[in-house]
């Protein structure tokens, strides 16, 4: 015998039960409504991709690839990974389908699950969802600013208050290598003042030290050279323009020289959006993104400037749950009806009538599993429907049906084959 509760959802992965679904729906429909205005089209890519796509695209020495990727060898011998983020897969699709031949820019949005084997904690799961945006073939800094604005608008639409955008530029292949070396030398001289993780990062991926939250590393970070002081002319000009556009849009942003993001493919602009409490405490990041001008070429495509970002669905839903009560709502619209039956023959006739009602697009509830008419009419009351249709034994034999006005209790008997038309008339009143 299987012991009770032997099977549970895997650690860090969650069921989204029906009462929670309206919060997800609320987010998705608000977000889709907004991105549609900006010309984004939906794209779905497989949840599994060639593992090398991620190690190449995101970077071998990033936490996401090094520690958090779920990878598996298929029976056919392919080495696949559950996607830890959207961008690499969408860039792969962009290249694979020759989308660079289409008029640019191309704007895509995606919704779906991502997988990272992280230490589960509040707001950090192993399976989570993102609402993701990508823009390909767009070089102008307007795109970076607009992307930030779109995510900001989505959160505003969902009634988030006290939002803060943090931005930084992490340069490109012209200026970052020099800065990286400068930073690595600086860190090397202070190795003993760094946490164990950062000692490793200082060698492999020094920018990640700037991201460290450990108390021990803060004084080292505070004195570290800042990349904005070492940007090449092109990156500096791009960043300046992004900030000017953000000013123009009246977005409350601030510069965060420590914002480097966890994925290697970023170039130039990076950003995150948080909510701030009254006391100035930052929430976990709700949105993160940036520019990735080198990624498409790195993955085998043409040189294609691009930028994108992703909103963490669970973190937003968590907030919505606290901020607004969304009732799952009656399963029927108020114009719906309830279909009740009594006896075997009536049940058979009801099944057929139920299908006719569906074709006529009349919302209808039933309780075929119940035999007592009283219990069924109680259900009808609970659904607050204006009418119930009742087929009892007598009606089944006579091919008729009772239309009961649930408010007044008035009942009319009509022919079964006229029931749908008659109902339509009554519902129109
Ligand atoms: P990233 O893809 O790491 O840039 O993350 C973008 C957004 O996704 C973050 O700002 C979070 O809101 C969300 N996110 C990232 N990782 C997780 C996770 N493990 N669990 C829940 N949400 C996450």
Closest residue by Cα to atom 11, ligand 1, is: 312
| Atom of ligand 1 at shortest range from CA of 310 | 6
For residue 37, the 8-state DSSP code is H
Mutate to test the pocket of ligand 1, among 67, 310, 317, 320 (most ligand atoms within 8 A of CB): 310
State how far the Cα of 66 lies from the Cα of 208, in Å rounded to an integer: 14
Q: Measuring from each residue's beta carbon to the nearest atom of ligand 1, which residues come in under 6 Å?
A: 85, 116, 118, 123-125, 128, 130, 262, 285-288, 310, 312, 314-315
Please return the burial class of 210, using the count of CB atoms within 10 Å of its CB with bins 0-12, 13-18 and 19+.
Answer: buried
pLDDT in tens, 154-182: 999 999 999 999 999 999 999 999 999 99
pLDDT one-digit tens code per residue, 70-82: 999 999 999 999 9
Q: What is the tens place of the pLDDT at every residue in 181-201?
A: 999 999 999 999 999 989 988
Which pTM does this prediction carry? 0.89
The residue whose CA is least distant from atom 8 of ligand 1 is: 312
Residue 183, Cβ density class (10 Å: 0-12 exposed, 13-18 middle, ≥19 buried): buried
Domains of the chain: 21-175+231-323 (3.30.930.10), 337-428 (3.40.50.800)
| Ligand 1 nearest-atom number relative to CA 261 | 4
Task: Give the mean pLDDT of 326-342.
Answer: 74
Considering only CA atoms, give the Rg of the chain. 29
Atom of ligand 1 nearest to the CA of 84: 2
Which of 65, 114, 131, 315 to mutate to test ligand 1, by most ligand atoms within 8 A of the CB atom? 315
pLDDT band at 211 (very low <50, low <70, confident <90, very high): confident
The predicted pLDDT at position 388 comes to 93
Counting from 1 in the atom list of ligand 1, the atom nearest the Cα of 273 is: 10
Closest residue (by CA) to atom 16 of ligand 1?
A: 124
pLDDT grade for 2, boundaries at 50, 70 and 90: low
- Average pLDDT over the chain reads 93
């Amino acid at each position: 015998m299987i012991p009770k509760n032997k099977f549970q959802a895997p650690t860090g992965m969650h069921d989204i039960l029906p009462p929670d679904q309206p919060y997800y729906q609320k987010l998705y429909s608000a977000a889709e409504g907004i991105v549609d205005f900006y010309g984004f089209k939906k794209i779905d890519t497989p949840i599994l991709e060639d593992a090398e796509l991620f190690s190449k695209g995101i970077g071998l020495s990033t936490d996401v690839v090094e520690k958090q990727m779920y990878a598996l060898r298929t029976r056919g011998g392919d080495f696949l990974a559950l996607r830890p983020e959207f961008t690499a897969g969408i860039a792969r699709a962009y290249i694979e389908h020759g989308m660079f031949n289409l008029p640019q820019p191309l704007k895509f949005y995606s919704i779906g699950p991502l997988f990272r084997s992280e230490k589960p904690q509040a707001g950090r799961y192993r399976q989570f969802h993102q609402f993701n945006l990508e823009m390909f073939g767009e070089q102008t800094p307007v795109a970076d600013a607009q992307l930030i604005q779109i995510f900001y608008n989505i959160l505003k639409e969902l009634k988030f208050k006290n939002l803060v955008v943090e931005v930084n530029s992490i340069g490109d292949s012209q200026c970052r290598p020099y800065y990286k070396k400068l930073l690595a030398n600086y860190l090397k001289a202070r190795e003993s003042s760094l946490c164990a993780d950062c000692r490793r990062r200082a060698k492999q991926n020094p920018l990640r030290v700037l991201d460290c939250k450990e108390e021990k590393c803060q004084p080292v970070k505070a004195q570290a050279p800042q990349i904005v002081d070492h940007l090449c002319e092109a990156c500096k000009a791009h960043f300046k323009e992004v900030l000017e556009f953000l000013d123009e849009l009246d977005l409350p942003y601030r510069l965060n020289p420590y914002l480097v993001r966890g994925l290697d493919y970023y170039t130039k602009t990076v950003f995150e959006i948080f909510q701030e409490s009254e006391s100035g405490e930052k929430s976990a990041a709700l949105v993160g993104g940036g520019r990735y001008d080198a990624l498409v070429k790195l993955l085998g495509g043409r040189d294609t400037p691009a930028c994108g970002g992703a909103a963490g669905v669970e973190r937003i839903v968590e907030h919505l749950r606290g901020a607004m009560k969304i009732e799952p709502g009656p399963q029927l619209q108020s114009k719906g009806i309830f279909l009740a039956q009594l006896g075997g023959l009536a049940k058979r006739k009801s099944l057929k009538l139920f299908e006719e009602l569906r074709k006529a697009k009349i919302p209808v509830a039933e309780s075929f599993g119940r035999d007592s008419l009283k219990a069924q009419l109680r259900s009808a009351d609970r659904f607050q429907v204006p009418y119930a249709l009742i087929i009892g034994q007598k009606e089944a034999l006579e091919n008729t049906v009772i239309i009961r006005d649930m408010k007044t209790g008035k009942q009319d008997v009509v022919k079964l084959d006229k029931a749908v038309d008659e109902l339509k008339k009554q519902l129109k009143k």
